[in-house]
Amino acid sequence: MWAGHLGAALALKRADRELDLGWLFLGAQLQDVILWVLVLAGVEHVTIPADYATRHYLHFDFPYSHSLPASVVLALLTAMVTLLVARRRADGRRRWRAAGLLAAAVFSHFVLDVIVHPAEPLPDGNSTIGMGLWDAMPLAIAIELALTFGGLALWRRGASRNGCGGIRGVIVLVVVVAALTVTGMTVAPAPSSVRAVAVTSLISALAASAIAASSIGRLGRG
Ligand SMILES: [Zn+2]
């Protein structure tokens, strides 16, 4: 899932005019950013299954970036860092609101991933939590697109009410991400290597956040 995470961030942006959309995008993708860094470092593992061409999803061994305890700790850490960083820039109420929204963006990643990822077996005989919606791919795509464009519609209504510019830029970014996500879930061939997926996914997640945080994101405040 990629576009759906941005949809959650866009929906959360509606609750705070000041908070930069780029930070919310980064928060909603933080667990994937950590995953791909850990995969490149050889700490977490991703495999390309033999039946990728029919199933269109990878298998993950990602206890440090994606488990429930890791998600809770990451969300709390995000809130703490936000409170510290914003100490001099915002009053108490705005700081707490930003901290809560960024923590919610981080934790939303876990919730959405649980819906689509299959439960992965663990060495101790247990398995990760996962409802496996990717095994019903048309439904998974419909839900991800609903999330993405539902979030975009919510954000857009707030942005136009406040007379913001830059709306078109955010819409183009989200449409491109949604198109790439659906392509990956349907017709894209198996990736050439795990390293290639890790590098591409890491750059894509950071680029989407940076674009939203740039002039497009700033103009999109509202
Ligand atoms: Zn993820």
Identify whether the C-beta of residue 22 lies closer than 8 Å to the C-beta of residue 209: yes
Mean pLDDT across 116-133: 80
Distance in angstroms (rounded) separating the CA atoms of residues 141 and 198: 22
CA of 148 to the centre of ligand 1 (A): 15
pLDDT confidence bin for 221, thresholds 50/70/90 = very low
Residue 218 scores a pLDDT above 70: no
Its pTM stands at 0.91
Task: Output the pLDDT for position 193.
Answer: 94
Task: Output the pLDDT for position 91.
Answer: 79
Residue 170 scores a pLDDT above 80: yes
CA of 62 to the centre of ligand 1 (A): 9
Residue 90 scores a pLDDT above 80: no
CA of 31 to the centre of ligand 1 (A): 6
Q: Worst-scoring range by mean pLDDT, 35-39, 117-121, 173-177?
A: 117-121
Task: Output the pLDDT for position 112.
Answer: 96
CA of 60 to the centre of ligand 1 (A): 9
Residue 167 scores a pLDDT above 70: yes
CA of 5 to the centre of ligand 1 (A): 9
Task: Output the pLDDT for position 219.
Answer: 46
Distance in angstroms (rounded) separating the CA atoms of residues 147 and 166: 21
Which residue would you say has higher pLDDT here, 217 or 9? 9
Task: Output the pLDDT for position 53.
Answer: 87
Q: Worst-scoring range by mean pLDDT, 56-70, 74-88, 164-178?
A: 164-178
Would you state the torsion angle of the CA atoms of residues 42, 45, 46, 50, taken in this order, to the nearest 10 degrees?
Answer: 110
CA of 2 to the centre of ligand 1 (A): 8
CA of 84 to the centre of ligand 1 (A): 26
Burial of 69 (0-12, 13-18, 19+ CB in 10 A): exposed
Task: Output the pLDDT for position 222.
Answer: 44
Reported as a single tens digit per residue, the pLDDT across 31-50 is 999 999 999 999 999 999 99
Residue 215 scores a pLDDT above 70: no
Query: What DSSP designation does 94 have?
Result: H
CA of 217 to the centre of ligand 1 (A): 23
CA of 111 to the centre of ligand 1 (A): 10
Tokens of 44: 């977490």
CA of 127 to the centre of ligand 1 (A): 16
CA of 51 to the centre of ligand 1 (A): 21
Residue 120 scores a pLDDT above 90: no
Question: Pick from 131, 106, 100: which is nearest to 118 by CA?
Answer: 131
Mean pLDDT across 11-31: 92
**How far is C-alpha 159 from the chain's CA centre?**
21
Residue 70 scores a pLDDT above 80: yes
